[in-house]
Chains A and B, each alone.
Chain A
Amino acid sequence: MTVRVRGLDVDLAGRPVLRGIGLDVPAGGWTAVVGPNGAGKSTLLLAVLGLRAGRGEVAVAGRDPRALRPRERARLVAYAPQHPGLPAGMTVFDYTLLGRSPYIPHLGRESARDRAVAGDVLDRLDLAAFAARPLGELSGGERQRVVLARALAQQTSVLLLDEPTTALDIGHQQQVLELVDALRAADGLTVVTTLHDLTLAGQYADSLVLLSGGRVAAAGPPGDVLTRESVAEHFGARVRVAPGPDGRPVLSPERPC
């Protein structure tokens, strides 16, 4: 399933947040949206999700999510927010089951199949042992995986992840991104993430979109987008960019002298 955005303008409270955004993610592709704080990355994800009104074209698998009923939309695209609401007393299993909401009749209850899907997702993410544990008792890494589990339980082919590595140590960052990549390969998921860490973004995504001041400053393969000059210009940071073993760029911060 493809994601396509053309000429998207989004205003929040009368303030322009996104202007003239274009985005193309092929089916099975992974695009990372990078950019400095306040560039509009999260807003772009919410616009693709259909939860932010705006002018311009947004199409997920050829359909405009803004025109869909919430349930249809939630069967098309799943979303893991940067700061998820995690009711402390809710168990991991029940939280994962929330991902089945678009399939459960409005006033009905979940079916055996919904429970089986939630159970399978927990198995795949090595969370089965946590099924009965309340969310309030999870570590940061476990929480990220649980939020991912809920999104996967929606069984959509497009996955939007807002900063999936927030507040994770370097090991857990890799673990979560490897997991997303493995799921993408296994299920043919189309993935759009925002990512703070530019090196990680360059390592995992096939394509980067650099947002700055609400506009697309650069887009393309990681090596084209992450250059010493673009990072200096848009992040105000001094970095050395060197190709890693696989040719993808690795950024090292340099202390200004």
Chain B
Amino acid sequence: MSNQSTSAPVLRVEDLGMYYGTRSGDVKAVDGVSFAVGRGESVGLVGESGCGKSSIAMTLLKLLPENGRIVGGKILLDGTDLAPLSEDQMRTHRWNRIAMVFQAAMNSFNPVYTVGDQIIEALEVHIETSPDVSMERVRELFELVSLDPGFIGRYPHEYSGGMKQRAGIAMALACEPDLLIADEPTTALDVIVQDRILKELRDVQQALNMSLIYISHDMAVIAEVSHTVGVMYAGRIVEWGETVDIFRNPMHPYTQTLMSAFPSVTGPKHELAMLGGEPPNLLNPPSGCRFHPRCPYATDVCKSAEPPRVEGSDTHWAACWHPLEA
């Protein structure tokens, strides 16, 4: 699990902000987010629905809806800042450098074309190849994700859910991207298929030494695939660290609540924690620490001032006025 490279990170995100303009004001979906992903590293982003996880994924690819806009910060991919790039310049990076496995991978294939054609389509935009070479590549990809190459010429409706998800992964790997973003790719699958696909995704990631950002609301899934975890709350990263540290010694009260909201099969029985209150309104987020209205440890300072970044170790930090002791 710890084959993290020490070389320069593939992706460095600095103070990134992305707002959705609405009639009643800006929804601050991503607000001042900074993190780095090393080559071959697997990072998990975890948090409740609506905390900005998927928004980060879409911002990295700059695939924003009409009302979404990047308000500041940098997206450094191998040193190149993607944030100011035009649509045309961005197109050469998409899929070629950063690829994605979608949340609804079931629906990420166009029903009127064969799956093979849609993978070839992605290949041909970025790489000059002959049809034979592309076909050979698709066959390789199918084998890589344990799909029967006989299905290359079949249509998406002939695939099962798990097969479509595998095909989605194969398509994402087509151009050997430096970074793969997986946005809750297994949510719609049953647990057995989910587990198998997670395992394969992890194997492929390690075999290709590819960087992975895995987005999920499920701590257990994140623990299985990720070396590093970022915990998101209300458009911000509130805690960042290696998976082991996050699970053993959560520093942020939100992380702790999130963790005790999941039952442990082997551990001692305990009442599952419930997080009171509602997720914050990102139109007008709470002042100071955004978690303070729901935090059991909140004091006056939490309401008025931005929390400082507290380091638990070289690789572990949390943004909190009252971090939990290890």
Chain A complexes with chain B: no
